[in-house]
Chain A
Amino acid sequence: MKQSDLPSLSVPQLVDLFARIGIEEDEAEKVDDRAKRRRLPYEMDAVQAELKGRPGDQRRALLQLYDHPNMQVRLVAAKYTLAVAPAEARRMIEWIAASNWFPYAGDAGMCLYMLDSGAFVPS
């Protein structure tokens, strides 16, 4: 999927693509595929930017991924909804940070660290 194809996708298709990239990210981390590990977050970022740019900022559609069976998908969905649903997103991130399920718990904990220090201001 090219970035130039994203405008032609519906919101549900974008959400589905976001989840699929999240699963791939998880897999890349597990098998330590560095090239993928470093490329996929930018692909996901492009998808959320497309949702953000749709009328009414459609990133709230990512809230449905809080129920996703993959922990990485839930975590990135929460990070990318911090600007549109701050309370729900933060609760999700706090919950993952306390889950003892690493590396997600560590990533979630550092996300809170960055939020609380003011270095990460979701927009």
Chain B
Amino acid sequence: MAARPSRILTAVPQTWPIRLEIAKAIHALAAQEGERLQRRRAELAALRRDCELAAEALREVCRELVKAGFRPDQPRWPKGSGRRSGRWSGGAGEGPQASPKPPPADSPPHYWGMGQGQGPPLDHAPEIPRERPSDESEINDFLKAAARWLGGAGLRRVLEIGLEATIGGPVGDFLLAMEAASWLSSYLPYLQAYLDAPKTWEELQQNAGTGYDVHHVVEQWSANDGIPPSMIYSPENEVPIPTLKHWEINAWLDTPNPAFTDSEGNMISPRESLRGKSWEERYRFGIGVLIRFGVLRP
């Protein structure tokens, strides 16, 4: 039995002008696809460059650590020591150590003696998954934990008190372990961005690439609450900030907070407290949030 001709082939008249049109259309589509591919390749290359830069920055810190005296033969917790296995066990030997600093004179009466005598505890670095977690939310949770731990306890303090303070200590250990986890390399820009010192508005506008999100000082939902979209999507309201800071601020805005109440005294979230407010009030508040969350320099 002869095969039935394709319905598509029979539906299109096989005249030369029609064939020419089809060929032109195929050519145009192929060209578009080529442009798209080229753009995508350029984006990927930029992303790769960003990742390489970020990875290089952290590698540089690690190299400095090694140069300053880190030795792989320093005492480590043996296998089977639970979460501490393989980590520095104390008694780092001859490497220079940071002197614990006294609590600040104006510390509260119940000063809690955080890590190294000031600042957050240094002894609970987040566990680095050896393999890339299959669940994206697990990766996000780890990135948040790592960024906060480094931001609070680590790199900024390293810059302040010197690399030698990290030798054989938890920060140095953590950085080296991060470097060893190859799956993390594409996420390092997020950590690096989170560690940015507060910037001026003009400096923030220079933020670009992986690790940064566009943040709206007056949030986008305000368009449904009387604020014109032209103001919400204006350059004075849009600013690229570290992605992990963006998440942090969003969660804070969304969480009921005893410092925020409605007209009847019921606790509400900061976001809910902005409902019905003017553009000026919302903008002032939004700038206040960026300053207090360590993004914008006052």
- Mutual binders A and B: yes
Binding site for B on A (CB under 8 A): 29-32, 34, 37-38, 41-42, 45, 63, 66-67, 69, 71, 74, 76, 79-80, 88, 91-92, 95, 97, 99-103, 105-107, 109-111, 113-115, 120
The answer to whether A103 touches B252 (Cβ under 8 A) is yes
Residue of A with least CB distance to B251: A29
Tell me which residues across on chain B come within 8 A of A32, comparing CB atoms.
Answer: 137, 140-141, 247, 251
Scan residues 92-146 of chain B and give those whose CB is less than 8 A from a CB of chain A.
Answer: 106-110, 112, 119-120, 137, 140-141, 144-145
Tell me which residues across on chain B come within 8 A of A29, comparing CB atoms.
Answer: 251, 255
Shortest beta-carbon distance from B298 to chain A in Å: 11
Tell me which residues across on chain B come within 8 A of A45, comparing CB atoms.
Answer: 258, 267
Residue of A with least CB distance to B141: A31
User: A106-B292, A111-B257 provided; 9 other pairs, C-beta below 8 A?
Assistant: A37-B254, A45-B267, A66-B109, A88-B109, A91-B108, A99-B120, A102-B248, A110-B259, A115-B259
Tell me which residues across on chain A come within 8 A of B291, comparing CB atoms.
Answer: 109
Tell me which residues across on chain A come within 8 A of B248, comparing CB atoms.
Answer: 102-103, 106
The answer to whether B256 touches A41 (Cβ under 8 A) is yes
Given A32-B137, A110-B289, also A103-B251 (CB < 8 A): yes
A32 to B143, CA, bound (A): 13
The answer to whether B110 touches A67 (Cβ under 8 A) is yes
Tell me which residues across on chain A come within 8 A of B156, comparing CB atoms.
Answer: 100
The answer to whether B152 touches A106 (Cβ under 8 A) is no
Name B108's contact: one of A66, A80, A101 (CB within 8 Å).
A66
The answer to whether A30 touches B144 (Cβ under 8 A) is yes
The answer to whether B255 touches A41 (Cβ under 8 A) is yes
Tell me which residues across on chain A come within 8 A of B120, comparing CB atoms.
Answer: 71, 99-101
The answer to whether B152 touches A80 (Cβ under 8 A) is no
Rank and list the top 6 A-B pairs by shortest CB-CB distance, nearest first: A109-B292, A106-B293, A66-B110, A101-B152, A41-B256, A120-B259
Name A99's contact: one of B106, B152, B252 (CB within 8 Å).
B152
The answer to whether B252 touches A114 (Cβ under 8 A) is no
Tell me which residues across on chain B come within 8 A of A38, comparing CB atoms.
Answer: 254-256, 269
The answer to whether B258 touches A79 (Cβ under 8 A) is yes
- B199 at interface (Cβ–Cβ under 8 A)? no
The answer to whether A106 touches B259 (Cβ under 8 A) is no
Shortest beta-carbon distance from A76 to chain B in Å: 7
26 contacts between A and B (CB under 8 A): A30-B145, A32-B137, A32-B251, A38-B256, A38-B269, A41-B257, A41-B258, A41-B267, A45-B267, A63-B110, A66-B112, A74-B112, A79-B258, A80-B258, A99-B120, A100-B294, A101-B119, A101-B148, A103-B293, A106-B252, A106-B289, A110-B252, A110-B259, A111-B257, A113-B288, A115-B259
